[in-house]
């Protein structure tokens, strides 16, 4: 009897819950139809339908027959990519470009923020920030255009040193060019988040540290680091988790026929194979491989950082 | 005096450390300014001098040739016009959609929040990739249409999270006051919520505008018709592919002269195309801190 009555009451509860949900949706239909629906429709069409399109990676895709009519080939294209001699080169190029980029690029904005934070005069600080943010508003094309002009055989860098080195054709120079120009363009802008966090540092701690006569390293450890730690963790997870999605636009714009040995990354390869050669299925397989590794990396980095950071990840 | 005494409080070791730091900061600032000055000065040079000696400060010999040639080129202006249209339409559509969607997602009582959140967040980390998206566009007959570059990125989950966090920081009394008046959702949203969100709207609008203005990949894939190409694609052929618009240099006799002139034109092209954003962004600087902090709170 007792058991029976709990079942009944649970059923009633569920029914009540359902009814209240229906009532809520009826009362607040505007929230669903006017506010959320447009974004939801765009997401479903432009994000989820292409996810379904991934199926062509497992097919001999024929545009005239479509996804439904094309022949299934299993993991053929993945095998073709993984066993091709280029695979290790492109994977290595992608990983090296973004890992070195992260190692060099990640600390710079933090360093800039610490330095900016110690400038007493707000007027000077604002002016410096104005300059530091400026390169962020230059487009990738213009940035790469500038890099190409400056490093060309007749460009200012060679004029300055009286040399005639064509940097853009040197595979060994590509990564340095890519990463250095990235720091030049992005470090200032990326420092905003850290300067903003630093401005929220505890005033009490700051004063206590000054009274104790703490030196700069001690101050950073006691006052400034705690203020930006969470931000550093979030940024690190996001960037380390995106290692495989290193930007197509810049790598492609800095590519020349001769530096391909280091500049051909998976993203540029996917574009060339897919849209220039029309090898749809193969290109999709390579792209999917890239995305999956990226997701795995993101989850792994998040776990590792969370472990080091007392269980706090994303 | 007060400022001086503060620096004086540092120990000798700390002073040395700070000085090293400031020198590094100074070098970074110089590394940004010098190339920019170089480009500006170079754009006024005579092509032959520029190639042999680099820039000179011999003002008598400065010319406006480069600017005249670039500005008289039709394709640059077509690119400009397209970029302005695409960037404005994209910014308006995107910011509006994002602000709308963020509102229910910011409410504690919104039923289905977790479900919708999952649907949105998945797209931040997983996607169909290049070819499936391209095939979709082709099936929707959006190739060579501006909507192909506007719609896919119009709703940004990241920006939605930022707007949502900003809404959540707004005091609840505003909401209660509106409820007492019996205002419905739309009235509350447009009349009360949106007017107090200027900083975050300014930042999102600037981001989206800059993102569209500066990108070239989507346009390169979807817009083949040269009459529809945005500025960045025109720039790409001049700066990256070394193919200046034919009218710009065709009157030169020798190949060497054409090459020198093409090099000079790059500088003027960089200035003309970058000026609008570089002039615009300082006006938004006051919103940077508050707007970006809003988004930095964990999503």
Determine, yes or no, domain membership for A181. Answer: yes
| Tokens found for residue A264 | 């051909």
- CATH code of the domain containing B224: 1.10.3720.10
- Residue B251 Cα, gap to closest chain A Cα (Å): 23
> Among B3, B29, B119, whose Cβ lies nearest the Cβ of A121?
B3
Please answer yes or no on whether B132 and A24 come within 8 Å at the CB atom: no
- CB spacing of B18 vs A288 below 8 angstroms: no
- Which segments of chain B have a pLDDT < 50? 1-3, 297-299
Q: Domain count for chain A, please give it.
A: 2
Out of A72, A102, A125, a domain closes at A72
Q: Residues A239, A153: one domain?
A: yes
If asked whether residues B202 and B237 sit together in one domain, one would say yes
Distance between A284 CA and the closest CA of chain B, angstroms? 6
How far, in Å, CA of A55 to CA of B129, rounded? 12
How close B238 comes to chain A (CA, Å)? 9
- CA distance readout (Å), A63 to A23, A74, A173, B138, B139: 47, 18, 40, 11, 10
Q: What is the CATH number of the domain that holds A157?
A: 1.10.3720.10
A31: nearest CB among B6, B104, B235? B104
From the list B290, B299, B149, the residue with the least C-alpha distance to B211 is B149
Q: For position B298, what pLDDT does the model report?
A: 40
Among B1, B113, B115, B132, most A C-beta atoms within 10 A, so best to mutate, is B132
pLDDT score, position A205: 84
Q: CB distance B125–A295 less than 8 Å?
A: yes
Does B142 lie in the same domain as B14? Answer: no
Chain B residues touching A115 at Cβ < 8 A: 21-22, 24-25
How far from the centroid of its chain's Cα atoms is residue A129's Cα?
24
Q: Are B231 and A142 in contact (CB under 8 A)?
A: no
Q: Are residues B227 and B262 in the same domain?
A: yes
In whole angstroms, give the CA distance from residue B10 to residue B19: 11
> CA-to-CA distance for B299 and B297, rounded, in angstroms?
6
Please say whether the beta carbons of A60 and A71 come within 8 A: yes
A218 and A89 in one domain?
yes
Is the domain of B144 the same as that of B251? yes
Residues A34, A181, single domain; the answer is no
Same domain, A129 and A247: yes
In which domain, by residue range, is B103 found? 68-296
Which of A24, A39, A157, A227 has the highest number of chain B CBs within 10 A, making it the mutation to test binding with B? A39
Q: Is residue A314 part of a domain?
A: no
Residue A313 included in any domain: no
Both B220 and B179 in a single domain? yes
B78 plus B212 within the same structural domain: yes
- Asked if the structure places residue A214 within a domain, the reply is yes
Å from B265 to nearest chain A CA? 11
Same domain membership, residue A93 and residue A52? no
Q: Which residues of A touch B273 (CB under 8 A)?
A: 139, 142
- Dihedral angle, C-alpha B157, B162, B165, B169, nearest 10 °: -150
pLDDT tens digits along B259-277:
888 889 999 999 999 999 9
Q: Do B14 and A216 touch (CB under 8 A)?
A: yes
Q: Same domain, yes or no, for B241 and B149?
A: yes
Which residues does residue A71 pair with via DSSP β-bridges, in sequence order? Answer: A60
Residue after which a domain boundary falls, among A72, A96, A120: A72
The answer to whether B14 contacts A156, with C-beta atoms less than 8 Å apart, is no
Q: How far apart are CA B148 and CA B90, in angstroms?
A: 11
* ipTM of the modeled complex: 0.90
Query: With contacts defined as CB-CB under 8 Å, which chain A residues touch B97?
Result: 38-39, 42
Taking Cα atoms as reference points, which of A57, A68, A189 lies closest to residue A133? A189
Closest chain A CA to residue B241: A253
pLDDT digits (tens, 9 = 90+) for B107-125: 988 999 999 999 999 998 8
Q: Over chain A (314 residues), what is each successive 10-residue block's mean pLDDT?
A: 51 75 87 94 97 95 89 95 93 93 95 92 91 94 96 90 92 96 94 87 82 86 89 86 81 94 94 94 95 89 83 66
Q: Does the beta-carbon distance from B127 to A271 stay under 8 Å? A: no
In a domain, B49, yes or no: no
Alpha-carbon gap: B236 to the closest alpha carbon of chain A (Å):
6
Between chain A and chain B, how many beta carbons pairs sit less than 8 Å apart?
Answer: 263
Q: Check the CA dihedral A178-B126-A269-B152 and report its sign.
A: negative
Please check whether residues B117 and B248 belong to one and the same domain: yes
**Domain match, A68 and A166 both:** no
CA distance A57 to A78: 8
Does residue A185 sit in the same domain as residue A283?
yes
- Does the distance separating the beta carbons of B107 and A31 come in below 8 Å? yes
| Whether B7 and B121 share a structural domain | no
Q: Of B52, B129, B210, which to mutate for an interface test with A (greatest number of A Cβ within 10 Å)?
A: B129
Residue of B nearest to A245 (CA): B125
Distance from CA of B172 to the nearest CA of A (A): 18
User: Within this chain, do residues B124 and B86 fall inside the same structural domain, yes or no?
Assistant: yes
Tell if the CB–CB gap between B151 and A142 is shorter than 8 Å.
no
Q: Which of A72, A100, A132 is the last residue of a domain?
A: A72
Q: Chain B partners of A48 at a C-beta cutoff of 8 Å? A: 123
Residues 6+ apart with CB under 8 A from B25: A112, A115, A116, A128
Nearest CA in chain A to B26: A128
Query: Per the domain annotation, does A140 fall within a domain?
Result: yes
- Residue A147: per-residue pLDDT: 96
* Residue B4 counted as domain residue: yes
**Are B2 and B105 part of one and the same domain?**
no
Cβ <8 Å between B278 and A138? yes
> Is residue B290 situated within a structural domain?
yes
A107 and A243 co-located in one domain:
yes
Closest residue, chain B, to A22 (C-alpha): B111
Q: Are residues A14 and A131 in the same domain?
A: no
Question: Which of A38, A118, A210 comes nearest B100 by C-beta?
Answer: A38
Name the closest residue on chain B to residue A269, using Cα atoms. Answer: B130
Please tell me whether residues A166 and A238 are part of one structural domain: yes
B51, part of any domain: no
Answer yes or no: do B27 and B99 share one domain: no
Chain B residues with CB inside 8 Å of A241's CB?
A: 125
- B52 occurs within a structural domain: no
Contact B123 A145 (CB under 8 A): no
Structure tokens at B18: 């700070």
User: Closest by alpha carbon to A126, among B45, B85, B196, B286?
Assistant: B286
Q: Tokens 């019996």 belong to which residue?
A: B182
Does A242 share its domain with A169?
yes
Indicate the number of domains in chain B: 2
Enumerate the residues of chain A whose CB falls inside 8 A of the CB of residue B22: 115
Q: Which pLDDT value is given to residue B294?
A: 59
**Residue A112 and residue B103: Cβ atoms within 8 Å?**
no
Instruction: Give the list of residues 6+ apart from residue A229 with CB closer than 8 angstroms, or none.
Output: none
Residues B267, A149: C-beta atoms closer than 8 Å: yes
Domain that holds residue A137: 81-308
**Phi and psi angles of residue A72, each rounded to the nearest 5 degrees, phi first:** -85, 135
The residue of chain B nearest to residue A190, with distances taken between CA atoms, is: B292
Q: Name the residue facing B17 among A50, A216, A295 (closest C-beta).
A: A216
Burial of A162 (0-12, 13-18, 19+ CB in 10 A): exposed
Contact A270 B129 (CB under 8 A): yes
B24/A52 Cβ within 8 A? no
Question: Is the residue at A120 inside a domain?
Answer: yes
- Enumerate the residues of chain B whose CB falls inside 8 A of the CB of residue A46: 133, 136, 151-152
In this structure, the answer to whether residues A285 and A210 fall within a common structural domain is yes
């Amino acid at each position: 009897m007792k058991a029976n009555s709990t079942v009944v009451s649970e059923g009633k509860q569920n029914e009540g819950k359902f009814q209240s949900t229906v009532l809520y949706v009826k009362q607040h239909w505007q929230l669903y139809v006017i506010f959320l629906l447009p974004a939801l429709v765009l997401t479903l069409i432009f994000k989820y339908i292409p996810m379904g399109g991934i199926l062509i990676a497992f097919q001999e895709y024929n545009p005239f027959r479509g996804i439904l009519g094309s022949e299934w080939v299993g993991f053929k294209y993945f095998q073709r990519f993984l066993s091709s001699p280029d695979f290790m080169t492109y994977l290595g190029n992608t990983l090296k470009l973004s890992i070195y980029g992260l190692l060099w690029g990640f600390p710079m904005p933090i360093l800039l923020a610490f330095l900016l934070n110690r400038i007493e005069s707000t007027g000077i600080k604002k002016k410096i920030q104005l300059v530091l943010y400026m390169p962020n508003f230059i487009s990738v094309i213009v940035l790469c255009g500038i890099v190409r002009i400056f490093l060309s055989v007749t460009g200012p860098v060679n004029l300055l040193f009286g040399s005639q080195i064509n940097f853009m054709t040197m595979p060994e120079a590509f990564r340095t060019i890519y990463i250095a120009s990235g720091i030049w363009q992005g470090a200032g802008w990326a420092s905003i988040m850290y300067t903003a966090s630093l401005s929220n540092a505890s005033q009490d701690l700051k004063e206590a540290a000054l009274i104790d006569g703490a030196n700069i390293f001690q101050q950073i450890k006691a006052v400034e680091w705690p203020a930006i730690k969470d931000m550093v963790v979030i940024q690190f997870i996001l960037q380390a988790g995106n290692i495989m999605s290193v930007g197509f636009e810049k790598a492609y714009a800095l590519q020349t026929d001769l530096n391909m040995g280091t500049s051909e990354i998976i993203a540029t390869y996917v574009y060339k194979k897919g849209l220039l050669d029309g090898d749809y299925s193969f290109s999709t397989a390579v792209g999917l491989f890239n995305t999956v590794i990226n997701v795995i990396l993101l989850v792994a980095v998040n776990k590792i950082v969370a472990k080091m950071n007392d269980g706090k990840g994303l | 005096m007060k400022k001086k005494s503060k620096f004086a409080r540092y120990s000798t070791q700390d002073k040395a450390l700070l000085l090293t730091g400031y020198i590094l900061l100074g070098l970074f600032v110089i590394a940004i300014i010098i190339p920019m000055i170089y480009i500006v000065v170079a754009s006024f040079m005579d092509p032959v001098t520029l190639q042999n000696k680099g820039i000179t400060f011999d003002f008598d010999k400065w010319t406006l040739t480069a600017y005249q040639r670039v500005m008289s080129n039709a394709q640059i202006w077509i690119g400009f016009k397209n970029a302005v249209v695409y960037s404005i339409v994209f910014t308006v559509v995107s910011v509006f959609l994002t602000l709308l969607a963020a509102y229910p997602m910011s409410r504690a009582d919104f039923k289905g929040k977790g479900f919708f959140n999952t649907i949105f967040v998945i797209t931040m980390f997983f996607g169909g990739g290049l070819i499936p998206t391209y095939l979709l566009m082709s099936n929707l007959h959006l190739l060579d249409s501006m909507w192909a570059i506007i719609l896919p990125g119009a709703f940004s989950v990241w920006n939605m999270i930022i707007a949502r966090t900003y809404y959540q920081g707004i005091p609840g009394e505003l909401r209660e006051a509106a409820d007492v008046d019996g205002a419905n959702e739309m009235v509350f949203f447009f009349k009360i919520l949106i007017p107090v969100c200027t900083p975050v709207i300014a930042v999102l609008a600037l981001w989206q505008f800059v993102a569209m203005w500066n990108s070239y990949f989507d346009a390169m894939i979807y817009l083949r018709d040269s009459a529809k190409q945005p500025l960045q694609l025109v720039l790409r052929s001049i700066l990256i592919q070394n193919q200046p618009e034919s009218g710009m240099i065709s009157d030169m006799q020798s190949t060497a002269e054409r090459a020198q002139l093409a090099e000079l034109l790059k500088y003027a092209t960089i200035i003309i195309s970058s000026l609008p954003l570089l002039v615009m962004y300082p006006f938004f600087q006051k919103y940077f801190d508050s707007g970006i902090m809003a988004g930095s709170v964990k999503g």
